[in-house]
């Protein structure tokens, strides 16, 4: 599923389209009421546009009701989103230079920044494969591992297991588990093109009740990204949690795929 498909699959994308049409209807209505001395041709054109935009808004509302349930469109959150979006768009259309252009610039900057910050978490629609773990050696009491994420980055370890730049990770135990960080986005973050994001953060070795973990390197390359990442749970509409898989026994030269299935199940699948 492409980014555009994921955006259009959200009901809030359709609600935003309705807000655009409502703002255009209100703008033309305001111009008709305030500029009564305008030429008749101008007034006729504005009246025609008003009815055209109203018809499009009605068609969008009908489509949204057909595709989604009326509970989605008439929920308190959706109505607040519709009201706020319509108000901001109306201000931007009426006061184009004072509000519209600055608002467009601000939203563009915020959008690019938000997409950049969400990049470390892979979108999960129904199922996503995050990484492949290869068992290079296993003796029954310890194992040597290598992990590579499917975006091309190497999952270098960071922590007590194997610090430094060595890509080979060593863990005690004869069973392996993985911990994945899940970021759940409220639907009004639909422009990010995801409702759930995921990335592997830890590998865990199990043996006779003993557990040891390796924390994988943070994919954020700069301080600002790490600063926001640590505070993502405080952002309205975003929930962050860590989910661990069931341990699986390992054998030499075996490989596993880290899989996330919506709504947040994590597993190691043997390849």
Domain count, the chain: 2
pLDDT-flagged residues of the chain (< 50): 152-165
- Whether residues 254 and 205 share a domain: the answer is yes
Residues 147 and 246 in one domain: yes
Instruction: Say if residues 82 and 18 touch (Cβ distance below 8 Å).
Output: yes
Give residues with Cβ within 8 angstroms of 213, minimum separation 6: 159, 160, 161, 179, 202, 203, 204, 205
- Which pLDDT score, from 0 to 100, does residue 222 have? 66
In a domain, 103, yes or no: no
194 within some domain: yes
The answer on 80 and 152 residing in a single domain is no
Question: Considering the domain boundaries, does residue 115 fall inside one?
Answer: no
Is the same domain home to 128 and 195? yes
Instruction: Answer yes or no: do 17 and 133 share one domain.
Output: no
* 137 & 239 share domain: yes
What is the reported pLDDT for 95? 92
Please check whether residue 104 lies inside any domain of the structure: no
In 3D space, the residue among 218, 12, 223, 222 whose CA is nearest the CA of residue 120 turns out to be 218
The answer to the question of residue 88 being in a domain is yes
Let me know if residue 114 belongs to a domain.
Answer: no
pLDDT at 141: 84
106, part of any domain? no
Out of 78, 94, 110, pick the residue that ends a domain. 94
| Statement to judge: residues 78 and 42 lie in one domain | yes
Are residues 260 and 141 located together in one domain of the fold? yes
- 3-state secondary structure at position 194: coil
Count of alpha carbons within 13 angstroms of residue 47, beta-carbon side: 11
Name the residue range of residue 86's domain.
3-94
Same-domain check for residues 126 and 79: no
pLDDT at 8: 85
Q: Let me know whether 265 and 156 are in one domain.
A: yes
79 and 162 together in one domain: no
17: nearest Cα among 59, 81, 60, 49: 60
Where do the H-state alpha helices sit in 133-221?
A: none
Identify whether residues 262 and 130 lie together within a single domain: yes
pLDDT given for residue 163 in this prediction: 40
Assess if residue 212 is contained within a domain. Answer: yes
Which distant-in-sequence residues (6+ apart) come within 8 Å of 89 by Cβ? 19, 20, 23
């Amino acid at each position: 599923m492409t980014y555009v498909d994921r955006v259009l699959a959200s009901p809030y994308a359709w609600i935003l389209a309705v807000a655009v049409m409502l703002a255009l209807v209100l703008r033309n209505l305001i111009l008709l009421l305030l500029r009564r001395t305008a030429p008749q041709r101008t007034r006729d054109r504005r009246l025609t546009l008003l009815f055209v935009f109203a018809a499009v808004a009605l068609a969008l509302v009908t489509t949204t009701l057909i595709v989604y349930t009326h509970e989605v469109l008439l929920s308190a959150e959706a109505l607040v989103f519709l009201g706020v979006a319509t108000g901001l768009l109306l201000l931007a259309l009426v006061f184009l230079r004072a509000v519209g252009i600055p608002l467009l610039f601000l939203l563009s900057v915020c959008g690019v920044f938000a997409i950049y910050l969400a990049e470390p978490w892979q979108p999960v629609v129904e199922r996503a494969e995050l990484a492949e773990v290869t068992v290079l050696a296993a003796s029954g009491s310890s194992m040597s591992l290598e992990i590579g994420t499917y975006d091309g980055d190497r999952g270098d370890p960071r922590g007590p297991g194997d610090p430094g730049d060595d890509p080979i990770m060593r863990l005690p135990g004869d069973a392996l588990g993985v911990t994945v960080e899940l970021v759940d986005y409220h639907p009004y973050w639909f422009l990010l093109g995801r409702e759930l994001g995921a990335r592997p953060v830890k590998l865990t070795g199990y043996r006779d009740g003993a557990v040891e973990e390796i924390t994988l390197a943070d994919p954020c390359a700069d301080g600002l990204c790490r600063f926001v990442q640590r505070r993502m749970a405080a952002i309205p509409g975003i929930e962050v949690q860590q989910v661990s898989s069931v341990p699986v026994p390992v054998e030499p030269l075996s490989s596993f795929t880290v899989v996330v299935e919506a709504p947040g199940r994590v597993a190691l699948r043997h390849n």
